[in-house]
Structure 1
Amino acid sequence: MIQEVQTYINQWERLADKALAGERITLEEGLAVLQSDDHELLPLLQAAFRVRHHHFGKKVKLNMIFNAKSGLCPENCGYCSQSIISTAPIEKYTLLKKDVLVSGAREAMERKAGTYCIVASGRGPTDREVDEVCAAVREIKEEMPLKICACLGILKEGQAARLKEAGVERYNHNLNTSADHHDKITTSHSYDDRVQTVEAAKEAGISPCSGCIVGMGESDEQIVKVAYELRTLDADSIPVNFLHAIPGTPLEGMDELNPRRCLKVLALFRFVCPEKEIRVSGGREVNLGTLQPFALYPANALFVGDYLTTEGQVANQDHQIIRDLGFEIEECAL
């Protein structure tokens, strides 16, 4: 028994060694992480934490989402309550005015978030919407030491440059899933559309943020593939979402996840993208439950407050988790 324990400890420590050396773990090694026995979970998390600690110490970055435009989306994404095919009873409104967006930034400061994420539903922004967001960003940057992330959908030519000029440091556009699973989730835009928007943000000098949603019927191999794809894309920040299947969406009732599975996914992403910000994102409270604190051993960031159309945990509870772990909030982490 002791020899067996030492064997799998050594297995995960070898993955940590490879990650720290900048080597990409193999597909077989990635699958071994996802398919590992639950009794291997603590040694697996310890190995992932060694990589996390090397790059980020015990610091935790906090991000806050602000739903700047809700519903009214013509896309058919199966996970999304804001989609045109969703019947979920959500609030719907057009892009909020500048003063409301600025007020949201003040709330982010109160919650000790270092990054304020302005999110708008829809395929992509109109030029007028970009103007409104830019005006709000300029005012926020004059008043508060926040990093600004915009998530406005597929960008048209020139829009990324305008956002950059206004002070947007980061642009989020998730790949959501691997290229070979994308059509199972949405057909109203392509996987390449998503990649091209991330590349447009990078070309404009904006830090790319792109991640995934796990639990949408994808295979283990497809989870490893999207981790590889995000490594190739060189996303600086990788939000890992866990499906919160909302009634009224096509994925309603899907329930593939448990807390241990989620922790293995986070460990995988730390091994594949060792020096990147791995953020525990949507569905955290629902899918990780009482094991939420363990997520910060592989991950170094999380969202505080509510998500787009679902409620999140009270910020003080997140702050308490971080304190209880002996970790430190990286306030105003620019």
Structure 2
Amino acid sequence: MTKWMKLAERVLDGEEVTTSEAISILECPDDDVLLLMHGAFKIRKYYYGKKVKLNMIINAKSGLCPENCGYCSQSSISTAPIESYIMINKDKLVEGAKRAHSLNIGTYCIVASGRGPSNRDVDQVSEAVKEIKESYGLKVCACLGLLKPEQAERLKEAGVDRYNHNINTSESNHPNITTSHTYDDRVNTVKTAKSSGLSPCSGVIVGMRETKQDVVDMARSLKVLDADSIPVNFLHAIDGTPLEGVKELTPLYCLKVLALFRFINPTKEIRISGGREVNLRSLQPLGLYAANSIFVGDYLTTTGQEENKDYKMLLDLGFEIESVEEMKAGLAVENDKSVRQP
């Protein structure tokens, strides 16, 4: 039995990965990556079988953001030529949900740029979510920035199931990425969403000049936050941003990162997110031996893989798309947990 399978069995027995073991995952020799992924898959299969959760984003408000996040084309310091617009209307939000439903998407993600939502933004999203729930029954995740408690409660009442606010990087690396808000601001927003009964979603962006220890710290921080869903983004460096030209990642290292997040957060939804197409490249299918969720379609200001290629990839792997009924059952468990453990 390989060291990675032994480690997987220990994790399944309830043991936590040590710091030295976590670093060793990221430093796994390239020749042994398939053995590492085999260990990660043992954990993934135990909790999720061969099911894959599908997610789709709608960019509900683009650009016009006062923040100075170094990775983002929508920030105030970016010169990237992107489309900018205010919050789209209810009909367009519902239309996006209709398309998601037709593609067998389980979670519809409404994402808006900006430091945080205005009350008007919350009203528009809430109105749309009510109709989306009635018409399509989709799981809805909102990502609107720093959130006030009363806004979180209104979103929950409207039917929003999950709230996303990524920590993005480690606490120590955060000042190198943005100075217009703090790491604690991000953590507190996740806690605010959770306290309001919303399922917490929080993830990272890997490849922003962080150390391997930073990556381990990210995974551990999300374990402490008890995020139900963890999107793992890989930096897609955009011209016109401070991180323009940064290309630190290799496909094999990205696999090691996904394995690390599975070993440290064994029971959680691990989602391969932005940048998978340009960083994992031809190794994208292998990522799903650790992760159990992906985005389908385009991201915010970058394009994703063609939808039919994603479905073919899942078919070729012998994986199954999680059904709407299974999604609802899982959501009920998450909501129950939020009520019992505020």
TM-score range relative to shorter protein: over 0.9
Question: 2:63 — aligned with what?
Answer: 71
| 1:12 equivalent among 1, 4, 8 | 4
Matched, 1:88 2:80: yes
SS of 2:137's partner is coil
Specify the alignment match of 1:55 in structure 2.
47
Residues 1:268 and 2:260 are matched in the alignment: yes
- Unpaired runs of 5+ in structure 1? 1-8
Tell me if structure 2 keeps the 8 A contact 1:62–1:331: no
Q: Are 2:275 and 1:283 equivalent residues in the alignment?
A: yes
- Give the whole-Å Cα distance in 1 for the aligned partners of 2:76 and 2:87: 17
Within the alignment, does 1:150 sit opposite 2:142 as a pair?
A: yes
Q: Which runs of 4+ in 1 moved over 6 A?
A: none
Q: How many residues align?
A: 326
Counterpart selection for 2:193 from 191, 197, 201:
201
| TM-score of the two chains, using structure 2 as the length reference | 0.94
Q: Report the alpha carbon displacement of residue 207 of structure 1 after superposing the two structures with TM.
A: 0.3
What secondary structure is seen at the aligned counterpart in 2 of 1:158? Answer: helix
Structure 1 position 135 matched with structure 2 position 127: yes
CA contact (8 A) 2:203 2:232 kept: yes
Q: Does the 8 Å CA contact 2:207/2:247 hold for their aligned counterparts?
A: yes
Q: Which residue of 2 aligns with 1:3?
A: none
d(CA) in 1 for partners of 2:294 and 2:102? 16
**Aligned mates of 1:316, 1:36 — CA distance in 2:** 33
1:144-172 C-alpha deviation (Å, 9 max, x unpaired): 02100000000123000000000000000
Query: Counterpart amino acid of 1:57?
Result: G
Output the amino acid matched with 1:134: S
Identical counterparts, % of pairs: 63
In 2, distance between residues paired with 1:177 and 1:26? 20
Corresponding residue of 2:91:
99
Instruction: Give 2:289's aligned residue.
Output: 297
Residue 257 (structure 1) aligned with residue 230 (structure 2): no
Question: How many angstroms does 1:18 deviate by?
Answer: 2.2
* Aligned residue identity for 1:192: D
User: Residue by residue, what CA displacement relative to the aligned partner does 1:298-323 show, whole Å, maximum 9, x if unpaired?
Assistant: 00000000000011111111011001
User: Structure 2: how far apart are the matches of 1:23 and 1:154?
Assistant: 34
State which of 184, 194, 209 in structure 2 corresponds to 1:217: 209
- CA distance in 1 between counterparts of 2:132 and 2:125 reads 10
Shift of 1:14: 2.1
Residue of 181, 184, 204 corresponding to 1:189: 181
Query: 2:300 aligned with 1:308, yes or no?
Result: yes
Note the C-alpha offset of 1:89.
0.2
1:169 corresponds to: 161
Report the equivalent of 1:122: 114
Question: 1:10 Cα deviation (Å)?
Answer: 2.4
Match of 2:331 in 1: none
Q: Assess if the C-alpha contact under 8 Å between 1:111 and 1:304 holds in 2.
A: no
Q: CA deviation at 1:21?
A: 1.8
CA–CA separation in structure 1 for the residues paired with 2:229 and 2:284: 20
Q: 1:103 offset after TM fit, Å?
A: 0.3
Q: TM-score, normalised by structure 1?
A: 0.97
Superposed CA RMSD: 0.7
Counterparts of 2:314 and 2:137, CA distance in 1? 22
Q: Deviations over 1:243-268 (max 9, x none)?
A: 00000000000000011000000000
User: Shift in Å at residue 331 of structure 1?
Assistant: 3.0
